[in-house]
Amino acid sequence: MPKLKLTYFDIHGGRGEPARLAMHIGGVDFEDHRISFQQFGNARSSFPFNRVPALDIDGIELSQCNTISRYVGKLAGLYPSDPLQAAFCDEAMDAVEDIVSKVVATFPIQDEAEKKAARQALADGPITVYLQQLQALLESRGGEYFADGRLTVADLKVMVWVRSLRSGILDHIPQDLADNVAPLLVEHLARIESNPKIREYYARFT
């Protein structure tokens, strides 16, 4: 097994969280290197594409959150071996990344009224659309998991996003949006969160 070091923000969510969860669930040993936003700002240019998460694999730096999740998912036994099921897994992860990128684009907005308008437009439009489409995907795959009829990194990616939406951490996006427009995703969230390994993971921080 290679020596792994995952660098990401010291938060319980975001683009690095699915990889952390996957490695914990799969018993993959790794260094969970958590940094502050200020530390990232000071060292931004040292990361591939000036972004995190970044995964060091025996001295080789790997970037792009979904790429990292796929890699560690394979190590953890949480990524399908069947090509079509792998594509289903990728489809859900890439959809979440699409909409997360739209939300992240509002982070630099300084004017509160402008940010509110931008976030409300996202909630009324793209976020609602992506929640509904992901719910439809889930239903088409059997209603419990997004691929392979079992827990994969796709479920972790969707779970982390829906969990974030419902947490209230994103100003001007209703906490009950997912409950109202995609209740099956909220049920999916509860199902994935009930995994003993996930409960164990988050219990370390309480």
Separation between Cα atoms, residue 77 and residue 104, nearest integer Å: 30
Residue 94's pLDDT is 98
Q: What is the DSSP track for 98-133?
A: HHHHHHHTTTT---HHHHHHHHHHHIIIIIHHHHHH
pLDDT at position 205 is 86
Q: Which residues pair with 54 in a beta bridge?
A: 7
Query: What was the pLDDT predicted at 89?
Result: 98
In terms of C-beta density within 10 A (0-12 exposed, 13-18 middle, 19 or more buried), how is residue 101 classed?
A: exposed
Please give the pLDDT value at position 45. 94
From first to last of the 206 residues of the chain, give the pLDDT tens digit: 899 999 999 999 999 999 999 999 999 999 999 999 999 999 999 999 999 999 999 999 999 999 999 999 999 999 999 999 999 999 999 999 999 999 999 999 999 999 999 999 999 999 999 999 999 999 999 999 999 999 999 999 999 999 999 999 999 999 999 999 999 999 999 999 999 999 999 998 87
83-104 vs 112-122: helix axis angle to the nearest 10? 150
Residues in the chain: 206
Which domains, ranges and CATH numbers included, belong to the chain?
4-78 (3.40.30.10), 83-195 (1.20.1050.10)
Q: Which regions of the chain does DSSP assign to beta strands (E)? A: 4-9, 31-35, 54-57, 60-62
